[in-house]
Amino acid sequence: NAGVTQTPKFQVLKTGQSMTLQCAQDMNHNSMYWYRQDPGMGLRLIYYSASEGTTDKGEVPNGYNVSRLNKREFSLRLESAAPSQTSVYFCASSDPGTANTEAFFGQGTRLTVV
Amino acid sequence: AQRVTQPEKLLSVFKGAPVELKCNYSYSGSPELFWYVQYSRQRLQLLLRHISRESIKGFTADLNKGETSFHLKKPFAQEEDSAMYYCALSGVSGNQFYFGTGTSLTVIP
């Protein structure tokens, strides 16, 4: 029972470098999310995808792009990393409209931009 | 607009003492409320949700629509309760989850 799997777990980037964070879920959920977690700021929504083929901006989308590749996978891309993007990133998924509307989270990606 | 407010960033209690983590929300309609817990360097996991009205690990939370609150309570805190707690709200469409800023609970032995 893998649930939500994120890769990589840790990453160090230089300013200006690009990278893609991968996320996959095996629960057949329609909705997927990317959050960033910063001290004192809690979890802030970057982007979400309500269904395959759709994506929408959350609270803090600037500097990020996403792709809902298929129902299972939702990737987050940093085109030109900045130190302000140093954070812990969490992917999550849920199945709205069902009895279980809770969000299931991945283990997180700790990203440092130097 | 701030939909979920957790006024306490840090909360320390002694082992065996009662604990209450506050959560207030702002949302038109009937949201679904949750409490998530994150133990040190682990993923967030669901602690409880208001519709199930259950007690998990001794914690309970009652939805008060009049006060728009969903406070988390436990009568006797344990050391293993030390963690970060997040209150969360899911809207009518269920397509978004809004999280509070979290409360870091420390239970002092």
Decide if A108 and B101 are in contact by the 8 Å CB cutoff: no
Q: Which residues of chain B neighbour A100 with C-beta distances below 8 Å?
A: none
* Highest-pLDDT range among B10-14, B26-30, B49-53: B10-14
Per the model's pLDDT, the better-predicted residue between B53 and A28 turns out to be: A28
Mean pLDDT in chain A?
Answer: 92
**What's the rounded mean pLDDT across residues A80-108?**
88
Collapsed DSSP state (helix, strand, coil) of residue B90:
strand
CB-nearest partner of A94 from B97, B98, B101: B97
The answer to whether the beta carbons of residues B41 and B56 sit under 8 Å apart is: no
What are B66-75's pLDDT values in tens digits? 899 999 999 9
State the pLDDT at residue B94.
58
What are A36-49's pLDDT values in tens digits? 999 878 899 999 99
The answer to whether the beta carbons of residues A63 and A70 sit under 8 Å apart is: no
Tell me which amino acid residue A11 is: Q
The answer to whether the beta carbons of residues A91 and A33 sit under 8 Å apart is: yes
State the pLDDT at residue A99.
60
CA distance A10 to A21: 10
Distances (CA, A) of B46 to A100, B25, B35: 11, 18, 6
